[in-house]
Amino acid sequence: MGLSVAIAGGIVIFTIVYAMMSFPAILDDATKVSMSSAQMSNTLNSILHTNISISTLADSHGSSPVSFSVINTGNTILWNYNNFDVIITYQAIGGATVTEPLQYSSSCIGLANGKWCITDITNDLVHHGMLDPKETANIQAQLSQSTNLGGTLTLNFGTDNGVVATDSVTIT
């Protein structure tokens, strides 16, 4: 009888100690889930308040840069231009259709092929160099190939949080 009470007591003590040792790991996992949920909520809120539109898309056939404007019509400040997506599909000389992703360049001076840059931001009064709500970024994009007169040029412009605007124009 005494041995069975000692064994039962040992099992109870072991179970209590095991539960106490497991508690920090469970608490750590709960904290990670909570932090992840908060980050997801912030990202979704940012996407919800981000909106852009494209205007004045223009391209002259040949090798001149494509020009367009992006208007921040949402409530989010846009600034992380290196993570923006600019993809242009166009008809090159010879009739081939080319889809070209472009990379951001911080300077428009001597803009290289396959790059895009912001020439200026209209009404840039609050945060210099950032695209605040109701501001317009005037942009140039240099394509790798010359465009064909009368072809179609389609621009897909995406922000760093995944909001996309699209526009098309006939190459003049």
Cα distance between residue 29 and residue 14, in whole Å? 23
Cα distance between residue 1 and residue 97, in whole Å? 89
Cα distance between residue 115 and residue 93, in whole Å? 19
Q: What is the pLDDT of residue 58?
A: 94
The mean predicted confidence, pLDDT, of the chain is: 89
Cα distance between residue 91 and residue 68, in whole Å? 18
Q: What is the pLDDT of residue 27?
A: 67
Which amino acid, one-letter code, is at 53? Answer: S
Residue 69: which H helix or E strand, with range? Answer: strand 66-72
The alpha helices in 49-128, defined as continuous H runs, are none
Cα distance between residue 99 and residue 117, in whole Å? 18
Q: What is the pLDDT of residue 55?
A: 96
In tens, the pLDDT along 13-32 reads: 878 877 777 667 676 777 77
In tens, the pLDDT along 137-154 reads: 999 999 999 999 999 999
Buried b vs exposed e over 82-104: b needs ≥16 C-beta within 10 Å? eebebebebbbeeeeeeebebeb
Q: What is the pLDDT of residue 1?
A: 64
Please say whether the beta carbons of 91 and 148 come within 8 A.
yes
Q: What is the pLDDT of residue 3?
A: 76
Structure tokens at 170: 């006939």
